[in-house]
Structure 1
Amino acid sequence: MPATENAARIVLFDFDGVLMRGDAFSRFVRSRFRRSWWRSLLALIVLPVLLPFYAMRSLRMPIIGVFVRISLLGTSQARFEALTRDFALELVGKPRIFIREGISAMRRHILAGDRVIIVTGCEETLVRAIFDSIGLPDLEIVASRLRGGRLGMRKLVHNFGKAKPAQISLRGISEPWDLAYSDSAHDIPMLKRATEAVLVNADTRTSLRVRHALGREPRTVSWS
């Protein structure tokens, strides 16, 4: 059931493209390659082998996953956490990295007593480090997760597309949710389960896809 007068509304925010410009975890992975010549060399060696398969949509995520693994080879859990903290501090220092109207909207929901949850494909440790860096350490976050292994960090959960509603449900959060903010048609599975879907800075194609999937007009906002 959606929230009643006596219960906090459930408000979901995507992260990349809604609260922060660009893709935070991709920025982190690129920084790992820039700072390690041997990782860059290994990536260049496997690139010609994998590149022809990138045209196949079903293989894109696994191929991207290969480069994520290379970027984190030999990285322990403790080292990964330290790296994300350092990178978060570096990232939030960049000009206009945050979508300020998105952050303001999120803060308004918090002040109104809504239960705000960040639901993102970005990696959880990095997202938490970013919010810690701007003084929002207590936000609920449902995100992708990595786990340690003998060769370094590797994927545990990729919180993307259909996985988002499943991961939200695993936290004991019942649908329909009151509001969901996103900038992407990949979030249709999440948006469909919200009483009100809000598209942020979406282009015409994305708006049409979401409207068709939802069978109703989503609310649209243009944030800077």
Structure 2
Amino acid sequence: MSVKGRQYPKAQAGAPLVVFDFDHTLYDGDSGSHLFAWLIRRSWWRRLLALLIAPVFGPMVAFLPTRRFGIRGFIWVGTVGFHRPRDLDALIDRYVALHTEQIRQRLLPQAIEVLHRHREAGDRVVVATGAPPELARAILAFVAHEDMPVVGTQVGPSLFGIGAKRHCHHAMKMTMLREAGFSDEIAVAYSDSTADLPLLLAARRAVVVNPQHRNIEIFRRRLPADTVYLNWGCAKRAGEPVT
């Protein structure tokens, strides 16, 4: 699966802009949840604190309007005692180093190959994710060059811990892409999530990858009739299997 040894042509200004979501698109699962579960499990008192806030913050995670507040609560539990974004970056590096084999197994080979083909064609490729960008970069470093642009959730100090200051999610993902310099028309967008409908609708071609079965009808109502629905290896997800 590794493409680190491959050489890519330098993307030129005006080249097609291609945007990939990360979780359930390039990575089988929710990378941020995996990270913060590990952060919480590091000590008994963090586990206890997570249990105490779960009745309030857990249901928030399940609903789009309140998801960022729910996620923020569990990020805080995992990082209380740390105050700087670089503290979280150091914890991310430690997490990735301790879970290298599990993370490699979660990267989706078909997805990485599609990403590689876009880069080989000279397209401008960016990953836009709700996870902290350092996490996505550290994971992608297994299979991609370090120059892979990543736009992700911004974090900062929050009540004796670290919290999400700007969640790269839903319409905010489009705002953060533009602010990062990716303001051209999007040629192709790949995502699994209905939260990325603003991104998919902005693209000339939307590709829905590994969607949840319950969301297929939502996509079909909102996206063009010729939208492609693919499964890149997430066994419990919908989409046409790719061989």
Report the counterpart of residue 68 of structure 2 in structure 1: 61
Report the counterpart of residue 88 of structure 1 in structure 2: 96
Report the counterpart of residue 222 of structure 1 in structure 2: 231
Offset, 1:203: 4.2
Offset, 1:57: 5.9
Report the counterpart of residue 206 of structure 1 in structure 2: 215
Report the counterpart of residue 187 of structure 1 in structure 2: 196
Q: Does 1:116 align with 2:125?
A: yes
**Percent identity (aligned):** 31
Q: Provide the aligned length of Structure 1 versus Structure 2.
A: 220
Q: TM-score, normalization: structure 2?
A: 0.81
Q: CA RMSD in A?
A: 2.4
Q: Partners in 1 of 2:218 and 2:89 — Cα distance?
A: 37
In structure 2, do the counterparts of structure 1 residues 82 and 211 end up closer, same or farther at CA, with 3 Å as the change threshold? same
In structure 2, do the counterparts of structure 1 residues 156 and 217 end up closer, same or farther at CA, with 3 Å as the change threshold? same
Preserved contact between residue 110 and residue 116 of structure 1 (Cα < 8 Å):
yes
What amino acid is aligned across from residue 102 of structure 1 in structure 2? A
Report the counterpart of residue 47 of structure 1 in structure 2: 54
| Aligned partner (choices 135, 148, 170) of residue 179 of structure 2 | 170
SS at match of 2:154: strand
What amino acid is aligned across from residue 16 of structure 2 in structure 1? R
Report the counterpart of residue 80 of structure 2 in structure 1: 73
Q: Does 1:159 align with 2:168?
A: yes
- Which 10-residue stretch deviates more, 169-178 or 181-190? 169-178
What amino acid is aligned across from residue 80 of structure 1 in structure 2? L
Preserved contact between residue 160 and residue 186 of structure 1 (Cα < 8 Å):
yes
What amino acid is aligned across from residue 152 of structure 1 in structure 2? G
| Aligned partner (choices 5, 30, 36) of residue 43 of structure 2 | 36
What amino acid is aligned across from residue 87 of structure 2 in structure 1? R
Q: Partners in 1 of 2:202 and 2:170 — Cα distance?
A: 13
SS at match of 2:75: helix
Offset, 1:7: 3.0
In structure 2, do the counterparts of structure 1 residues 179 and 57 end up closer, same or farther at CA, with 3 Å as the change threshold? closer
What amino acid is aligned across from residue 210 of structure 1 in structure 2? F
SS at match of 2:131: strand
SS at match of 1:189: helix
In structure 2, do the counterparts of structure 1 residues 64 and 109 end up closer, same or farther at CA, with 3 Å as the change threshold? same
Deviations 1:23-55 (A, max 9, x none): 011001100121111111222233345567778
Preserved contact between residue 89 and residue 130 of structure 1 (Cα < 8 Å):
no
Unmatched 5+ stretches in structure 2: 1-11, 234-243
Q: TM-score, normalization: structure 1?
A: 0.87
SS at match of 1:126: helix
Offset, 1:219: 1.4
Deviations 1:169-199 (A, max 9, x none): 2123234310000111111100000000001
